[in-house]
Amino acid sequence: MMTNQKGFKGTLRIIWAITRKDIVDGLKNRTTVSVIVIALLMVAFFRYVPSVMGEGSSSNLLIHDAGSFSLWTELEQRAESQVYGPYPTQSSMENDLIKGFVPELGIVLPADLDEQLEIGSDIVLEAYVMHWLGASKTAAIVEEAENLFSSVVGQPVRITIDGNMLYSQADQLGFGLICSLGLVIGILMVGMSFTPNLMFEEKQTRTLDALMTTPAQSSHVAVAKGLTGTFYCILVAMVGAAFYGSLVVHWGLFIVAILIGSFFSVGIGLLMGTVFEDRQQLMVWGFLLNFPLMLPLFLSWMRGLIPDAVLDVMQWIPTVALGKVFQVSFSDNTALSSFGLELALVVGCILVILITVVWALRRANRE
């Protein structure tokens, strides 16, 4: 029993020593730093590109007119914001609000608004906003809308939110989808590019051969490389969490998505670094793997442009499933049915990849 404990502790010490060395060396390696920087830029790009693409400095107003507002034309003419509507139903207005990528305010005009104006009643309009907008931006967009309506109707207008927060949905377009793309791509880039390069660095510098003369075994080296790759994947993801913090509703699920995404991408990287002996082969196969893993992330939300049958097949691609888990963490729906199958799919792929890595290592040791 004592021998087993010593053996286990010794294994941990070996793995930790290699991991610590690789983490430090990674910060000194230009290739490693460039991969991490590019991944971080991708994460930031998907976070801020919707704002950059937004038209002007004003926010969008989505308006459902329950009646027939007589000053609608004047409202459109005076608005510095983009005014969309009138929407025939409140639900259609809310659906478009959920699908938005830029700051927007959904406003409901009551059916008797003209009558209220005639008798001089205080005008209070109910409004809806996305939860990720933040308090300061919400206050600014509400004030902008209040000033607009007040100038149109000729009297003070108050707009109230009163908890009318809308959330991103995993099965719809929207800001949550864009951010999930950034996170998945960032994690995938680091795990699939950085991890196999660690293996090749060891082979080129012959330190791997030196390690094999110590108590370290090939399995110890592989675990250490995997832990190093996972560390950098999580590092990129946590920077992403700082960018996307206002969007996250369920932090527990968000962290789970980061972990399984990191294990998945690092697992593929380990497999490539173990199987391939030539860097050129690695680059070719890396491209061939990236193409089917990343392209469906963009195609999966083009419903209406791509046949539904094709989109249904894409849902079984691990990266698409991982993106779905991230999107659920941004939504107000935590039902297991909304992400359980996707989570199981990615975990299953991780197990298959790790089993294949173990097989490849044992085969290499026999040779």
- The mean pLDDT value for 351-365 works out to 81
Q: Using an 8 Å Cβ cutoff, are 18 and 221 in contact?
A: yes
Separation of alpha carbons 205 and 53, rounded Å = 46
Q: What pLDDT sits at residue 302?
A: 75
- The mean pLDDT value for 241-267 works out to 91
Q: What is the CA radius of gyration of the chain?
A: 26
Banded model confidence at residue 56, pLDDT cuts 50, 70, 90: very low
Percent above pLDDT 90 for the chain: 26
Q: What secondary structure letter does DSSP report for 14?
A: H
pTM (two decimals): 0.84
All domains of the chain in start order, with CATH: 8-50+171-366 (no CATH), 54-166 (3.40.1710.10)
pLDDT tens column, 303-329: 667 887 887 888 889 999 999 999 999
- SS3 category, 303: strand
- SS3 category, 343: helix
Q: What pLDDT sits at residue 110?
A: 92
Alpha-carbon separation of residue 146 from 61, 152, 246, 279, 301 (angstroms): 11, 10, 25, 61, 35
Q: What pLDDT sits at residue 318?
A: 94
Q: What pLDDT sits at residue 1?
A: 42
Mean pLDDT of the chain: 82
366 vs 84, higher pLDDT = 84
- The mean pLDDT value for 335-353 works out to 90
- SS3 category, 165: strand
181 pLDDT above the threshold of 80: yes
DSSP states along 61-118: EEEEESS--TTHHHHHHH-SSPEEEEESSHHHHHHHHHT-SS-EEEEEE-TTHHHHHH
293 pLDDT above the threshold of 60: yes
Banded model confidence at residue 251, pLDDT cuts 50, 70, 90: very high
